[in-house]
Amino acid sequence: MAVEDVDTAALGRTWQTGLEATRRAGDEWLRSGRTALLRVPSVIVPATWNVPINPQHPESIRVQVLRVHRLAVDPRLLR
């Protein structure tokens, strides 16, 4: 299944803190229907990716969850 990668260089320097560029890129990808999946670098967990699914894409019905990883959050961060 084809996966499109977000080009962070094209988003500009503030993509990690601003919403405008990332929202615009995501909206454009969704409208285009090019792929069922979009690989986006995570802002919260560096060196990982988020992969939104385009439910309108015909291949989206083939998407399966293969495994789930629990995120261990230090409780001190929640105080």
More confident residue, 79 or 9: 9
How many residues are given for the chain? 79
**Residue pair 31/41 in contact by the 8 Å Cβ criterion:** no
- Residue 71: predicted pLDDT: 82
Which range marks the domain in which residue 51 is found?
3-78
Q: What is the pTM of this model?
A: 0.81
The total number of structural domains in the chain stands at 1
β-pair type (3-5, 37-41): parallel
DSSP code per residue over the chain = --EEEP-HHHH-TTTTT-SHHHHHHHHHHHHHT--SEEEEE-SSSTT-EE--B-TTSGGGGG-------PPP--GGGG-
- The residue among 40 and 71 whose pLDDT is bigger is 40
